[in-house]
Amino acid sequence: MTGMFQIVLALLAVNGAAFLAFWRDKRLASAGARRIPERTLLWLAFAGGSLGAVTAQHLFRHKTHKEPFRSQLYAIAALHALALATLGAWLVAPQWLADLLGLAPGVVS
């Protein structure tokens, strides 16, 4: 397996885990049982599962009004979107990005 394929598989796994954790927490909340800690849900999102976490949050209508949890989750998702956009720009147009960031010539190949 190539490195990129392994990264994609890892991201799919962590997004799936985040999605399932939100689903499970919603079921536990409905049953009045002990819940998954918010810290755990946020760490799953931060570890690369922000898309799965936000999707589950909206699909299951879970923790959509809970602050500061909602803001923290959206901040993580925004951070991931920025990182993905930067990576995409670096892969598509590395010299343009280097010029934009003011990097020295020859730093990007």
Provide the phi-psi class of 3: left if phi over 0, else alpha when psi is between -120 and 50, else beta: alpha
Q: What share of the chain is helix, strand, coil (3-state, %, to 5)?
A: 75, 0, 25
Does 102 have pLDDT greater than 80? no
Instruction: Tell me the domain boundaries of the chain.
Output: 3-101
CA–CA separation, 72 vs 15, rounded Å?
A: 17
Structure-token pair, residue 52: 């799965």
6-15, 37-46, 84-93: segment of lowest average pLDDT: 84-93
CA–CA separation, 64 vs 14, rounded Å?
A: 21
Structure-token pair, residue 78: 């925004």
pTM of the model: 0.81
